[in-house]
């Protein structure tokens, strides 16, 4: 059965995972003077089906940030950090996460398979992130996973320019893993980018910086919804 995280994304009017992070890859502050409560409320009322919370330190994150967001919402939450062991998975569950990031580019194939199994045993959705076909071949039990294509280079701490062409090129291999829910993540800057990725076959996208810097989360996500409705109507 699809997880709650996947189900919510697959059935959403706005097929977006809305991200909360304190800083972008260049150190720019993203939350400003807004409270977490205000940001979560904006995301919820704008129709976000799922949230991502970046707990990685180089984005200014922490486990406390995830805990605080989880106390504010019932939406499924992805813990976005580098996960390498079962202790981190158990902690993510305790803090209120529904999904955990597993990065194929920094894990051996055996470690990735083991962590996918551990996440599933703890009723957490494995959000497996890959950047090329070779990394996609390491994804096991993909029908139980979200398989995400990262449009940036984690080895450069995502300080490079986004390559949306990577997602467009890898939608076929991503679907061939057997995932029900392919996602494009990172560097998605505008509603038309979202629409193009959905039209290409993605079930959803993950957007952070562009939403947090937008003048209106509601206007941004309404634009996405309109574009996606047009795609569905003409399919």
- pTM value is 0.94
pLDDT band at 1 (very low <50, low <70, confident <90, very high): very low
Return the percentage of the chain with pLDDT > 70, whole number.
94
pLDDT of residue 2: 47
Return the percentage of the chain with pLDDT > 90, whole number.
86
pLDDT of residue 163: 83
pLDDT band at 156 (very low <50, low <70, confident <90, very high): low
Task: State the DSSP string of the chain.
Answer: ---HHHHHHHT-SS-EEEEE-SB-TT--B-STT--HHHHHHHHHHHT-SEEEEE--GGGT--HHHHHHHHTT--S-EEEES---SHHHHHHHHHHT-SEEEEEGGGS-HHHHHHHHHHHHHTT-EEEEEESSHHHHTT--SGGGSEEEEESS-GGGTT-SPP-HHHHHHHHHHHHHTT-SEEEEES---SHHHHHHHHHHT-SEEEE-HHHHHSS-HHHHHHHHHHHHHHHHHH-
pLDDT in tens, 67-123: 999 999 999 999 999 999 999 999 999 999 999 999 999 999 999 999 999 999 999
What integer best gives the mean pLDDT of the chain?
Answer: 93
pLDDT of residue 234: 85
List, in order of start, the domains of the chain with CATH numbers: 4-234 (3.20.20.70)
pLDDT in tens, 11-54: 999 999 999 999 988 888 999 899 999 999 999 999 999 999 99
pLDDT in tens, 140-154: 999 999 999 999 876
Please indicate whether residue 124 or residue 159 has the higher confidence score (pLDDT). Answer: 124
pLDDT band at 157 (very low <50, low <70, confident <90, very high): low
């Amino acid at each position: 059965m699809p997880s709650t995280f996947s189900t919510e994304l697959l059935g959403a009017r706005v097929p977006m995972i809305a991200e909360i992070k304190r800083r972008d890859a260049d150190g720019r502050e993203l939350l400003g003077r807004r409270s977490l409560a205000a940001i979560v409320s904006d995301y919820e009322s704008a129709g976000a089906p799922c949230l991502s919370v970046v707990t990685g330190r180089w984005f200014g994150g922490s486990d406390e940030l995830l805990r605080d967001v989880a106390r504010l919402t019932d939406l499924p939450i992805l813990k976005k950090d580098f996960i390498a062991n079962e202790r981190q998975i158990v902690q993510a569950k305790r803090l209120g996460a529904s999904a955990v990031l597993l990065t194929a580019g920094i894990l051996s194939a055996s470690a990735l398979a083991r962590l996918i199994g551990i996440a599933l045993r703890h009723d957490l959705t494995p959000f497996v992130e890959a950047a090329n076909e070779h990394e996609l071949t390491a994804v096991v039990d993909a029908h139980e996973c979200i398989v995400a294509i990262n449009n940036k280079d984690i080895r450069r701490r995502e300080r490079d320019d986004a390559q949306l062409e990577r997602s467009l090129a890898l939608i076929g291999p991503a679907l061939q893993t057997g995932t029900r829910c392919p996602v494009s993540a990172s560097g998605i800057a505008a509603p038309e980018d979202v629409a193009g990725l959905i039209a290409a076959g993605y079930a959803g996208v993950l957007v952070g910086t562009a939403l947090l810097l937008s003048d209106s989360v509601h206007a941004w996500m309404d634009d996405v919804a309109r574009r996606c409705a047009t795609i569905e109507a003409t399919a």
